[in-house]
Structure formats: C-alpha cells, structure tokens
Chain A
Amino acid sequence: MKAIDWITQVLEMAVALAAAPAFLGWLNQCRAWLQNRRAPSLWLPYRNLRKLFHKEAVIAENASPLFRVAPYVVFGTMVLAAGIIPSMGTRLPLVVSADAIALVGLFAAARMFMTLAAMDVGTAFGTLGARREMMVGFLAEPALLMVIFVASLISSSTALPVITGHLASGHLGLSPSLAFSAVAFILVLLAENARIPVDNPATHLELTMIHEAMVLEYSARHLALMEWAAQLKLFNYVCIGFALFFPWGVAVGRFGPEQLLVAIPALAVKLAAAGFALALIETISAKMRVMRIPEFLGTAFLFAVLGLLVHVLLRA
C-alpha cells in the first residue's frame, strides 16, 4: 500500500462528494436544452443543499430514533460506495475488504434503511413509497449483481478494480455477453435512480412517485443528506458503468500521480457524455405506470442472465 493509493482513495470520495450535485445539475441542464427549456444553473443542486442545511428541521412526533439515524447511514453508505468504485484509479485500499457483491450489499443496506425510515412515521405516502422502492429493489439488485457477475466471470474476480483493470487492459473488444449486460445495466441505472421512465424526480404525483414519497417527511438537514445521497447514488452508478464498460482513462496497475492527473479529466469527459446520454433517454421516453415497472426490470434481469448464459456458451 503506497501513499498514492490512499490519496486515490480519499480523492475518489472527495470528487464524488463534490461532483455528484454538479452531475445532476448537468443532467438537468441537458434535459432542459433537449426539451427547449431555459436550463437551470449548473449549481442549483448546491444551492438547494445549502438552503436545506440552514433550515430548521421539523420531525413528526411519532418518529423513532431510526428516522433520525437513517439519513446519516444512507449518506455514509453512498460515500463509502464511492470509495469502492474505481472511478479514477484501481489500487484502492478499501477494495480488498469490499468487493462488488459487498458493494451491492451496501446499496441494499442504504435502500433498507431508507424504506424503514419511510415506514417509520406511518403516513400513507411513506409506506407506499417504501413498498414501491422495495418492488424496484428486489428486481434491480439481482440484475445489477448479474451484470457484475458477467464481468467478473470474464476477469475471474468479484473485486471491481480487478475487473476494471482486466477490461482496461484492452485486448478483448466488447464481448456479446458484455453487450447484453450493458443494456441491462442502463435499465437498472434508470430504475435505481428514480429517473424517467421509472420515476419522475420532478413531480410529487402520488400515483407515480417512488423516491420522493419516501423522503416526504424529511426536512432541512435530513432532507439535504437524503438528496445528496441520491445524487451520490446516481454518480456511483454512472461510475460503475464506466468501470465495467468504459474503463478508459482509469489509472490501472501501479500508477503514479501523472496517470491520476490523466484520470480526472477523463472522468469529467465521460461524465459529461453520460449525462447527455441519460438526458436523451429521459427525453425520448415517457413515464410508465407503476405496475409496468416490474416488467421493465424483469427485462433487465433477463438480459443480465442472458449475458451470463452467453458467456458460458461462448466459453464452452
């Protein structure tokens, strides 16, 4: 373990913390442009967070300690996740003790605390949101895991950096199994981050909302943490996508500061592109009914499993 590894580790978390809101802002901007609206400022998310952090928090009388703990846990897990995903460098000290399966577990933990917190106050919206969130989760999670397994079968490891390193080493082109799982991954990403067509972050329409319904009872700092965590989640997913499918520019092997210096702009470029692509998808697709979501995710899961089978068949 060299110092630079630790630096990378901290850097990744810091960058994630810093860039997550910006990425969301960028995404919204792209959407606005594509929909011929005047784009909000790129810094709007930051202002929101600042505003929220300076408000007085109101908590329902019958909220239990769990309700107050949840935001910190969710936020913490997301930050930690950012530390596990090799967005810039692959030699991350944390990773030896948390591989991709653990990463998915981490997401699951965040989801679990979020839903429990949502059920805690005992309002109609909270429980409704929790139920829908779990409905999304129990299909998205395995799909994500399957996507990762395809990659880890190719590179015979479940540790993300190893996978990235193996894929980044290039010699194999985009194999068909990876293509399958890439499609699956995009679907999962949309669902997990409450984007159109699964959820509409812009509205509070109870017939459709999922994520917003869960955080309805939160205010001020707690809400801020939740929002920030959501942005981090989106950021993390995008980074996972990079790590699995576009590992270019990531500092691989035993690298020095210079690779790192290359990695940062590379990440920025990729993020910009990804943001635009997501915005495009969201613009051209329409929000679907809640009961269609399982079919949507079922397709994702199916694709992932197909990817796995294709891999086995081709290898045979």
Chain B
Amino acid sequence: MTHLPLGQQLLDTCAALLLLLSFAMLSQRRVVTLVNLYAVQGAVLAAATLLLAWRTGEEHLYVSAALTLVLKVAFLPWLLHRLIRRLGVYWDTEPLLKVSGTMLVGLVIVVFAFSLAQPITRLASTDTRSAIGIAVSVVLLAFLMMITRRKAMSQVVGFLSMENGVFFGAMSASYGMPMVVELGVALDVLVAVLVLGVFFFQIRERFDSLDLHHLETLKERD
C-alpha cells in the first residue's frame, strides 16, 4: 500500500478508524464515553471530508466538512452531554447480548457488508471507493448497536452514528450528495436531536428513568 499517495493512505486510515470506532461503540457500556466516541467519529468524518475536499477540490465538500464539524463534533455531543448531566444517565445496563457475542456478530456483519459493497465499488468512479464497504459496515454496526442497547440514550447515539455511516458512504461513493440534500439532511438530523431532547424530558417526567423496559407495554402478546 506504500505506492499509494499520502492522501489516499490517510483517507484509508480514516476509514479504518471509523470502523474501529463503531466497534468500540458497540462494546462500550458507559454512556458518556459513548457520546465521546461519537464525537470522535464525527471528527474523523470531518477530517476525511476535508481531506477529500482538498484532494478533489470539490468546494461543496468544504461546506459539508464544516457542517459536520459544527454539528457532529461540537453541537450534538455538547447537547447530549448536557442531557446526560440533566437526566443523570451514566451507565447502560447489561446489553441484551454479551459484548463478546455482539463482537462476533459484528465481524460477520462486516464481512457481509464488504461482499455487499463489491458491486458498488465496481461501479463507483471515486478513488475513495474502497471505503464504501466500511461505510456500509458502519451503518449495519450502528444498527446492531441500537438493537442490543437498553437505554434510550445509547440507542440515540447508535442512531446518530448510523447517520454518520450513511454520510461517509455518500462521500466515499460519490463525493457527497447535492448541496440542497446535504443541507436538508443536516437540518433533519438537527431537528431530530432537538425532538429527542424534548422526548427525553417527557419520558423522564413520566418514568423518571430512560430505561427502555418501561416502553414495552404496547403489545399484542399477553
């Protein structure tokens, strides 16, 4: 891989980091750390975006990099931390699946994701296309994380990191989406988190806890 240009190598490193981070999130049970990891993931994403912008000269990538930086590194983590402090949720309870088991499933998923990415990689014209597989696996891993967690907070973080994965996929497959879409997506994510904030307080004032097992009354099985 030495013959690759530096930027390329850096990009691949970013991609690898992203994957590593989502694995870390998958295994992490401390909510605060989870949020920090999310922030880091955002930072890596922003870095990758910048790198790409610099190499391809796509100016709208600069904008999205800035967006990422503001939104996913600064604002959202701050908001989440604030919520955590206000609501006092620090630990997630034991996940539904043992961490080791989760890891194994995660590995399988990564393999699947890469096989999945093959045709896309073949199609895509970008030189970051090798990272598509990673993007897919980030998405799926986030999904897995949402499944295995019991606290609303960690589910949200999973949701956000899934969005990260999607974003990374967009970038690596086609240097990002059209501007209008990017803005829309960013807006939606922002609103989503705000809504979530409201939500947390509502849930909290009802159940004085964010444990999801309170939210299992509506069902058919008796």
Given a CB threshold of 8 Å, the question of whether A touches B is answered with: no
